[in-house]
Amino acid sequence: MKIRTTVVCLPVRNLDNTLAFYKKALSFSDAHVDEGIIALELPNLSLFLMEKSAFETYTIKAGRDAQFPDNNAGVVISCAMEIKEEIDTILENVPKYGGTAPAKAAIDETSGGYTGYFTDPDGHLWELVYPRQ
């Protein structure tokens, strides 16, 4: 299989709130809404945050409805960070803009990396890791 690019699509409840969160809490300054989609360009991945009805135009073809994680996690968006201190800054900012950060970042005993977790306003789970050096 030869893949040119990878796109992950996630449903959101309120595009304006989600856009504000990603711009302010995570500093995606170039994020914007275009036809019901917020596209975030990450290294080797495009993340499309889609209004629920736009998301369901795709899932309905497969006989599925959109679901939000709420207290569950079907997906973890994990990012290896270049700057350790940036993890702490993000975890401090997340609650100010509608997300949650359940705990401070810490050294993961298994991997040895400095790791922190947060959820966006729709409950999508992110993991930020500064790898063991």
Q: What is the pLDDT of residues 108-118, one digit of tens each?
A: 998 899 999 99
Position 118 in a domain: yes
Q: What pLDDT, on a 0 to 100 scale, did the predictor assign at position 132? A: 82
CATH number at residue 50: 3.10.180.10
Q: What is the pLDDT of residues 33-82, one digit of tens each?
A: 998 899 999 988 999 999 999 999 999 999 999 999 988 888 999 999 99
116: exposed, middle or buried (Cβ count in 10 Å: 0-12, 13-18, 19+): buried
Q: What pLDDT, on a 0 to 100 scale, did the predictor assign at position 49? A: 97
Is residue 99's pLDDT more than 80?
A: yes
What is the span of the domain harbouring residue 77? Answer: 7-130
Position 38 in a domain: yes
Q: What is the pLDDT of residues 25-47, one digit of tens each?
A: 999 999 999 988 999 999 889 99
- Total number of domains constituting the chain: 1
Task: Find the Cα–Cα–Cα–Cα dihedral 115, 8, 74, 99, rounded to 10°.
Answer: 60
| Percent of the chain residues topping a pLDDT of 90 | 82
Q: Which residue's structure tokens are 């966006």?
A: 120
Q: How far is it, in rounded angstroms, from Cα 90 to Cα 70?
A: 21
Position 1 in a domain: no
Q: Structure pTM?
A: 0.90
Position 80 in a domain: yes
Position 42 in a domain: yes
Position 2 in a domain: no
